[in-house]
Amino acid sequence: MMRAAGLHRYQRLPVAPDVLADTVRALGAAGFRGANVTIPHKEAALALADTASDAAREIGAANTLTFADDGSIAAENTDAPGLLAALGDTPPASALVLGAGGSARAAVWALTRAGTDVSVWNRTPQRALELGVRVVERPEPAELLVNCTSVGLDRSSTDFKQLALDADGLGEYTTVVDLVYRAGGTSLIAQAARRGVRTVDGLEILVHQGALSFTLWTGLPAPLQTMSAAVADAAPDPRAPQPNPNQTTDRRRSGAES
Protein backbone atom coordinates (compact mmCIF):
# COMPACT_ATOMS: atom_id res chain seq x y z
CA MET A 1 0.00 0.00 0.00
CA MET A 2 2.72 2.48 0.99
CA ARG A 3 5.06 1.65 -1.88
CA ALA A 4 2.24 1.79 -4.42
CA ALA A 5 1.56 5.36 -3.23
CA GLY A 6 5.22 6.36 -3.63
CA LEU A 7 6.04 6.14 0.07
CA HIS A 8 8.79 3.99 1.51
CA ARG A 9 7.25 3.26 4.87
CA TYR A 10 5.66 4.66 8.05
CA GLN A 11 7.95 4.83 11.08
CA ARG A 12 7.42 5.67 14.73
CA LEU A 13 9.69 8.44 16.00
CA PRO A 14 9.36 9.15 19.74
CA VAL A 15 10.43 12.78 20.25
CA ALA A 16 10.96 14.61 23.53
CA PRO A 17 9.35 18.06 23.79
CA ASP A 18 12.69 19.84 24.09
CA VAL A 19 13.88 18.56 20.69
CA LEU A 20 10.56 18.68 18.85
CA ALA A 21 11.26 21.89 16.92
CA ASP A 22 14.68 20.77 15.67
CA THR A 23 13.36 17.33 14.78
CA VAL A 24 10.35 18.58 12.85
CA ARG A 25 12.39 21.12 10.90
CA ALA A 26 14.84 18.39 9.86
CA LEU A 27 12.30 15.83 8.66
CA GLY A 28 11.52 17.35 5.27
CA ALA A 29 15.18 17.52 4.23
CA ALA A 30 15.63 13.93 5.45
CA GLY A 31 13.02 12.73 2.96
CA PHE A 32 9.89 12.60 5.06
CA ARG A 33 6.71 13.63 3.31
CA GLY A 34 4.71 14.15 6.46
CA ALA A 35 4.32 13.44 10.14
CA ASN A 36 1.51 12.65 12.51
CA VAL A 37 1.78 14.19 15.96
CA THR A 38 0.31 13.11 19.28
CA ILE A 39 0.10 14.45 22.82
CA PRO A 40 1.83 16.43 24.18
CA HIS A 41 3.01 17.94 20.87
CA LYS A 42 -0.15 19.00 19.03
CA GLU A 43 -0.17 22.66 20.04
CA ALA A 44 3.58 22.96 19.50
CA ALA A 45 3.30 21.32 16.07
CA LEU A 46 0.86 24.00 14.97
CA ALA A 47 3.23 26.73 16.11
CA LEU A 48 6.07 25.23 14.04
CA ALA A 49 4.09 25.25 10.78
CA ASP A 50 4.42 27.93 8.10
CA THR A 51 0.78 27.51 7.03
CA ALA A 52 -2.24 25.92 8.67
CA SER A 53 -5.73 24.90 7.67
CA ASP A 54 -8.70 26.77 9.10
CA ALA A 55 -9.51 23.72 11.22
CA ALA A 56 -6.03 23.47 12.76
CA ARG A 57 -5.92 27.20 13.39
CA GLU A 58 -9.35 27.38 15.01
CA ILE A 59 -8.80 24.24 17.07
CA GLY A 60 -5.37 25.46 18.13
CA ALA A 61 -3.69 22.12 17.53
CA ALA A 62 -2.35 20.05 14.66
CA ASN A 63 -1.92 16.30 14.44
CA THR A 64 -0.74 16.17 10.81
CA LEU A 65 2.22 17.98 9.23
CA THR A 66 3.11 17.96 5.53
CA PHE A 67 6.60 18.84 4.29
CA ALA A 68 6.85 20.62 0.93
CA ASP A 69 9.83 20.49 -1.42
CA ASP A 70 10.62 24.13 -0.66
CA GLY A 71 11.07 23.30 3.03
CA SER A 72 7.79 24.78 4.24
CA ILE A 73 5.58 22.96 6.72
CA ALA A 74 1.77 22.83 6.50
CA ALA A 75 -0.38 21.92 9.51
CA GLU A 76 -3.71 20.12 9.47
CA ASN A 77 -6.00 18.61 12.08
CA THR A 78 -7.53 15.27 11.10
CA ASP A 79 -8.74 14.53 14.64
CA ALA A 80 -11.95 16.47 14.01
CA PRO A 81 -13.07 14.91 10.69
CA GLY A 82 -11.74 11.52 11.83
CA LEU A 83 -14.11 11.56 14.80
CA LEU A 84 -17.11 12.56 12.68
CA ALA A 85 -16.30 9.90 10.07
CA ALA A 86 -16.16 7.21 12.75
CA LEU A 87 -19.51 8.33 14.22
CA GLY A 88 -21.36 8.04 10.91
CA ASP A 89 -23.70 10.24 8.93
CA THR A 90 -25.99 11.51 11.70
CA PRO A 91 -24.34 13.72 14.34
CA PRO A 92 -25.59 13.34 17.94
CA ALA A 93 -27.93 15.92 19.41
CA SER A 94 -25.82 16.24 22.58
CA ALA A 95 -22.32 15.25 23.65
CA LEU A 96 -20.14 15.27 26.75
CA VAL A 97 -16.42 15.58 26.06
CA LEU A 98 -13.98 14.48 28.76
CA GLY A 99 -10.71 16.42 28.74
CA ALA A 100 -9.47 19.80 27.58
CA GLY A 101 -6.31 19.08 25.57
CA GLY A 102 -5.71 19.11 21.83
CA SER A 103 -7.93 16.11 21.11
CA ALA A 104 -10.74 17.58 23.19
CA ARG A 105 -10.42 20.87 21.31
CA ALA A 106 -10.78 18.98 18.04
CA ALA A 107 -13.78 17.01 19.27
CA VAL A 108 -15.56 20.14 20.52
CA TRP A 109 -14.79 21.98 17.28
CA ALA A 110 -16.09 19.14 15.11
CA LEU A 111 -19.22 18.41 17.11
CA THR A 112 -20.34 22.02 17.57
CA ARG A 113 -20.00 22.62 13.82
CA ALA A 114 -22.08 19.50 13.22
CA GLY A 115 -24.88 21.07 15.30
CA THR A 116 -24.32 19.09 18.50
CA ASP A 117 -24.93 20.64 21.91
CA VAL A 118 -21.54 20.04 23.58
CA SER A 119 -20.49 20.21 27.21
CA VAL A 120 -17.06 19.49 28.70
CA TRP A 121 -15.79 17.92 31.90
CA ASN A 122 -12.15 18.22 32.93
CA ARG A 123 -10.32 17.64 36.19
CA THR A 124 -9.09 21.23 35.87
CA PRO A 125 -12.27 23.23 35.13
CA GLN A 126 -10.38 26.43 34.39
CA ARG A 127 -8.67 24.87 31.38
CA ALA A 128 -11.99 23.52 30.10
CA LEU A 129 -13.37 27.06 29.99
CA GLU A 130 -10.96 27.79 27.14
CA LEU A 131 -12.95 25.47 24.86
CA GLY A 132 -15.85 27.92 24.68
CA VAL A 133 -18.67 25.55 25.60
CA ARG A 134 -20.54 24.74 28.79
CA VAL A 135 -18.32 23.24 31.51
CA VAL A 136 -19.87 20.75 33.96
CA GLU A 137 -18.63 19.87 37.44
CA ARG A 138 -19.42 16.17 37.00
CA PRO A 139 -20.14 14.02 33.92
CA GLU A 140 -23.78 14.21 32.96
CA PRO A 141 -26.03 12.26 30.55
CA ALA A 142 -25.82 12.97 26.82
CA GLU A 143 -26.36 11.13 23.57
CA LEU A 144 -22.60 10.85 23.05
CA LEU A 145 -19.69 10.50 25.47
CA VAL A 146 -16.17 11.14 24.15
CA ASN A 147 -13.09 10.41 26.26
CA CYS A 148 -10.28 12.70 25.11
CA THR A 149 -8.05 12.13 28.14
CA SER A 150 -5.15 9.68 28.44
CA VAL A 151 -7.03 7.67 31.06
CA GLY A 152 -7.25 4.08 29.89
CA LEU A 153 -3.70 3.48 28.71
CA ASP A 154 -3.04 1.06 31.57
CA ARG A 155 -4.74 -2.27 32.20
CA SER A 156 -6.66 -1.32 35.32
CA SER A 157 -10.26 -2.50 35.26
CA THR A 158 -11.33 0.62 37.13
CA ASP A 159 -9.28 3.25 35.33
CA PHE A 160 -12.42 4.91 33.99
CA LYS A 161 -13.23 5.96 37.57
CA GLN A 162 -10.50 8.59 37.19
CA LEU A 163 -13.01 10.24 34.84
CA ALA A 164 -15.55 10.55 37.67
CA LEU A 165 -17.75 8.06 35.82
CA ASP A 166 -19.88 5.31 37.31
CA ALA A 167 -19.98 2.11 35.27
CA ASP A 168 -23.74 1.73 35.64
CA GLY A 169 -24.19 5.35 34.54
CA LEU A 170 -22.70 4.55 31.12
CA GLY A 171 -26.13 3.32 30.08
CA GLU A 172 -27.22 6.97 30.02
CA TYR A 173 -25.24 7.43 26.78
CA THR A 174 -26.28 6.14 23.36
CA THR A 175 -22.69 6.02 22.11
CA VAL A 176 -19.38 5.97 23.97
CA VAL A 177 -16.17 6.95 22.16
CA ASP A 178 -12.71 6.44 23.63
CA LEU A 179 -9.84 8.05 21.74
CA VAL A 180 -7.40 5.89 23.71
CA TYR A 181 -6.46 2.72 21.87
CA ARG A 182 -4.64 -0.32 23.18
CA ALA A 183 -4.61 -4.09 22.84
CA GLY A 184 -7.88 -5.54 24.12
CA GLY A 185 -9.59 -2.16 24.33
CA THR A 186 -10.07 0.08 27.34
CA SER A 187 -12.19 -0.63 30.39
CA LEU A 188 -14.41 2.32 29.46
CA ILE A 189 -15.26 0.67 26.13
CA ALA A 190 -15.69 -2.73 27.79
CA GLN A 191 -18.02 -1.42 30.49
CA ALA A 192 -20.11 0.51 27.96
CA ALA A 193 -20.42 -2.49 25.64
CA ARG A 194 -21.44 -4.67 28.59
CA ARG A 195 -24.41 -2.36 29.07
CA GLY A 196 -25.50 -2.51 25.45
CA VAL A 197 -24.13 0.91 24.53
CA ARG A 198 -22.73 1.45 21.04
CA THR A 199 -18.96 1.92 21.28
CA VAL A 200 -16.32 3.44 19.00
CA ASP A 201 -12.76 2.73 20.07
CA GLY A 202 -9.63 4.72 19.39
CA LEU A 203 -8.39 2.34 16.71
CA GLU A 204 -11.42 3.03 14.53
CA ILE A 205 -10.88 6.77 14.80
CA LEU A 206 -7.15 6.30 14.27
CA VAL A 207 -7.85 4.64 10.92
CA HIS A 208 -9.98 7.55 9.73
CA GLN A 209 -7.38 10.07 10.90
CA GLY A 210 -4.64 8.12 9.16
CA ALA A 211 -6.69 7.86 5.98
CA LEU A 212 -7.02 11.62 5.81
CA SER A 213 -3.27 12.04 6.38
CA PHE A 214 -2.53 9.47 3.68
CA THR A 215 -4.59 11.43 1.18
CA LEU A 216 -2.93 14.71 2.16
CA TRP A 217 0.52 13.22 1.55
CA THR A 218 -0.24 11.27 -1.62
CA GLY A 219 -3.29 12.84 -3.27
CA LEU A 220 -4.77 9.34 -3.43
CA PRO A 221 -7.87 7.88 -1.75
CA ALA A 222 -6.92 5.83 1.29
CA PRO A 223 -7.60 2.04 1.32
CA LEU A 224 -9.70 2.07 4.48
CA GLN A 225 -10.31 -1.68 4.64
CA THR A 226 -6.62 -2.47 4.27
CA MET A 227 -5.70 0.11 6.89
CA SER A 228 -8.33 -1.20 9.33
CA ALA A 229 -7.00 -4.75 8.99
CA ALA A 230 -3.41 -3.61 9.45
CA VAL A 231 -4.24 -1.59 12.56
CA ALA A 232 -6.20 -4.48 14.09
CA ASP A 233 -3.26 -6.84 13.55
CA ALA A 234 -0.81 -4.36 15.07
CA ALA A 235 -2.84 -3.19 18.07
CA PRO A 236 -0.27 -1.74 20.49
CA ASP A 237 0.76 -3.04 23.87
CA PRO A 238 -0.28 -0.29 26.32
CA ARG A 239 3.02 -0.65 28.19
CA ALA A 240 5.02 0.13 25.05
CA PRO A 241 5.37 3.52 23.28
CA GLN A 242 2.20 3.98 21.27
CA PRO A 243 2.78 3.52 17.50
CA ASN A 244 0.04 5.84 16.37
CA PRO A 245 -0.04 8.36 13.60
CA ASN A 246 0.44 10.99 16.20
CA GLN A 247 3.94 9.80 17.01
CA THR A 248 5.10 8.72 13.62
CA THR A 249 6.12 10.22 10.36
CA ASP A 250 6.15 9.15 6.79
CA ARG A 251 9.35 9.05 4.87
CA ARG A 252 9.72 9.40 1.14
CA ARG A 253 13.22 8.17 0.43
CA SER A 254 14.62 5.90 3.10
CA GLY A 255 12.82 3.28 5.09
CA ALA A 256 11.90 5.16 8.20
CA GLU A 257 8.17 4.97 8.12
CA SER A 258 6.99 7.51 10.28
CA dist., res. 137 & res. 134, Å (int): 10
Decide: helix, strand or coil at residue 58.
helix
Give 153-172 pLDDT, tens digit per residue: 665 555 666 788 888 999 99
- Under CATH, which number does the domain 80-200 receive? 3.40.50.720
- CB atoms inside a 10 Å sphere around CB 46: 23
Class of domain 3-77+208-251: alpha beta
- Reply yes or no on whether the pLDDT at 18 is more than 60: yes
pLDDT score at 10: 80
Reported for 198-206, long-range contacts at CB under 8 A and 24+ positions apart, including other chains, are: 198/174, 199/175, 200/86, 200/87, 200/175, 200/176, 201/177, 202/178, 203/231, 203/232, 203/235, 204/86, 204/228, 205/82, 205/83, 205/86, 205/177, 205/179, 205/181, 206/82, 206/181, 206/231, 206/244, 206/245
| Per-residue pLDDT reduced to its tens digit, 37-86 | 987 898 999 999 999 999 999 999 999 999 999 999 999 999 999 999 99
For 142-156, what is the mean pLDDT? Answer: 82
pLDDT of residue 74: 97
Residue 190 clears pLDDT 60, i.e. is over it = yes
Q: For 223-258, how does the pLDDT look when each residue is reduced to its tens digit (9 = 90+)?
A: 888 888 877 666 554 444 443 433 333 333 222 233
pLDDT of residue 40: 81
Q: What per-residue confidence (pLDDT) applies to 38?
A: 83
Domain boundaries, the chain: 3-77+208-251, 80-200
Can you tell me the mean pLDDT for 101-110? 92
Active site residues: 42
What pLDDT score does 91 carry? Answer: 93
Question: How confident is the model over 174-178, as a mean pLDDT?
Answer: 96
Q: What is the DSSP string of 149-211?
A: SSTTSS--TTGGGGGT--GGGGGG-SEEEE----TT--HHHHHHHHTT-EEE-HHHHHHHHHH
Q: Tell me whether domains 3-77+208-251 and 80-200 share a fold.
A: yes
Q: How far apart are CA 109 and CA 236, in angstroms?
A: 28
Residue 33: its pLDDT value, please? 93
Q: Region 192-199: what's the mean pLDDT?
A: 96
| pLDDT for 11 | 83
pLDDT tens for 82-100 read 999 999 989 999 999 999 9
What pLDDT was estimated at residue 35?
A: 94
The string of pLDDT tens digits covering residues 200-214 is 988 889 899 989 999
Average predicted confidence (pLDDT) for the chain: 84
110 pLDDT above the threshold of 90: yes
